Amino acid sequence: MERLSSKTVYEGRIAKVRLEEFRYDDGSVHEREVVGHPGAVAIVAHDGESVYMVRQPREPVNEPDLLEVPAGKLDVEGESRLECAQRELAEEIGRAAAEWRELKRLYPSPGILEEEVTLFLATDLSDAEAEPDDDERLEVVPYPLDRIDDAIDECRDAKSLVGLMLLREELRAGA
Amino acid sequence: MERLSSKTVYEGRIAKVRLEEFRYDDGSVHEREVVGHPGAVAIVAHDGESVYMVRQPREPVNEPDLLEVPAGKLDVEGESRLECAQRELAEEIGRAAAEWRELKRLYPSPGILEEEVTLFLATDLSDAEAEPDDDERLEVVPYPLDRIDDAIDECRDAKSLVGLMLLREELRAGA
């Protein structure tokens, strides 16, 4: 599969749409619409007692307080995935982590959206040096690890579900 | 949270972008970009031996043969989620299922994309009445259930990962 051409047909503040032409191994050529995305990170952070989640409004799916793990877009030039994850963890829940491990890279909606999410496990938590961002619409939710099954039942965000289920496997293996 | 207005600013073949204004509980009003989506279904189908997956090119993430469960958009007027899932299972892997159960509804990328995916578990499989669609770029992959850990390791598609991990829980509970 080879990308032959790419043309931006819409460019908003965040959303960008491209029309791209691809040639496949059988020689055929087809045009595809692609919604551009810089990629994102998401962080499964726990201190042995709780996994730290957030609730926030998610307008595209009309949810006023969707439960998710901390996450953010790779939108700072030159910042690595890990640095972005460290910044987001501090901004969203006011924590730093001494231990970081990559759990998974996943595509949220690979038929239309360029986004790739890198999921990190963050442990050995402490208070971050800087204050968290003052976002009145983001609520920090420490979810007790012994209720992780409830968190998985309640959660409807794909990256968070994958992260919580991978964490559950880790907890079982370590128990 | 209340949607005050919605304006389509780009409309392609599949991708649509809207600018929407929301009023929050604190009274503030903000504009958000939303990539429209009709919703989708995804099917975790197994016969006790294998879970039936597919490989196909996913241009937006530049993957020539991404491993996923069968899935499709809710793009037929008047068709229910279950009917759509039954049609997709027949079209993509040539199977029908006597038992259907909804596993989960999830949002692949709720910060930008309107898409909601309904995940179904399909069992008691038989050959579908109609032939599967002739799509040279889609390969059916029967993945042995006793290698479901490998499938989860390899899989990078969010909805499929959630489906496979939920199936693994079912298999463990039933074992």
Interacting residues of A70 by C-beta distance below 8 A, sequence separation 6+: A42, A43, A45, A52, A53, A54, A88, A89, A92, A93
**Helices (H), ranges, A69-117:** 81-93
Residue of A nearest to B104 (CA): A156
Q: Which two tokens stand for residue A139?
A: 């609520």
Q: How many CB pairs under 8 A join A and B?
A: 169
- Residue-wise pLDDT tens for chain B (175 aa)? 999 999 999 999 888 999 999 999 889 999 999 999 999 999 999 999 999 999 999 999 999 999 999 999 999 999 999 999 999 999 999 999 999 999 999 999 999 999 999 999 999 999 998 777 777 789 999 999 999 999 999 999 999 999 999 999 999 998 6
Looking from the CA of A143 toward its CB, the CA atoms found within 13 Å total 25
ipTM of the complex: 0.95
Q: What is the mean pLDDT of chain A?
A: 95
- In a 3-state reduction of DSSP, which class is residue B111? coil
Q: pLDDT for A128-146, tens place per residue?
A: 987 777 777 899 999 999 9
Looking at chain A from residue 101 to 130, which residues have their Cβ under 8 Å from any Cβ of chain B?
104-117
Q: pLDDT for A43-83, tens place per residue?
A: 999 999 999 999 999 999 999 999 999 999 999 999 999 99
Question: Is A66 in Cβ contact with B106 (below 8 Å)?
Answer: no
What pLDDT, on a 0 to 100 scale, did the predictor assign at position A175?
A: 62
Q: In whole angstroms, what is the distance from residue B151 CA to residue B171 CA?
A: 14
Instruction: Pick left, alpha or beta for residue A90 (phi over 0 → left; psi -120 to 50 → alpha; otherwise beta).
Output: alpha
Question: Is B105 in Cβ contact with A109 (below 8 Å)?
Answer: no
- Between helix B158-174 and helix A158-174 the angle, nearest 10°, is 40
Q: In whole angstroms, what is the distance from residue B134 CA to residue B131 CA?
A: 8
- In a 3-state reduction of DSSP, which class is residue A160? helix
Question: Is B14 in Cβ contact with A12 (below 8 Å)?
Answer: no
Question: Is A104 in Cβ contact with B158 (below 8 Å)?
Answer: no
Strand pairing category for A117-127 and A40-45: parallel
State the DSSP code for A82.
Answer: H
State the DSSP code for B113.
Answer: B
Interacting residues of B34 by C-beta distance below 8 A, sequence separation 6+: A59, A60, B6, B17, B18, B19, B20, B112, B113, B114
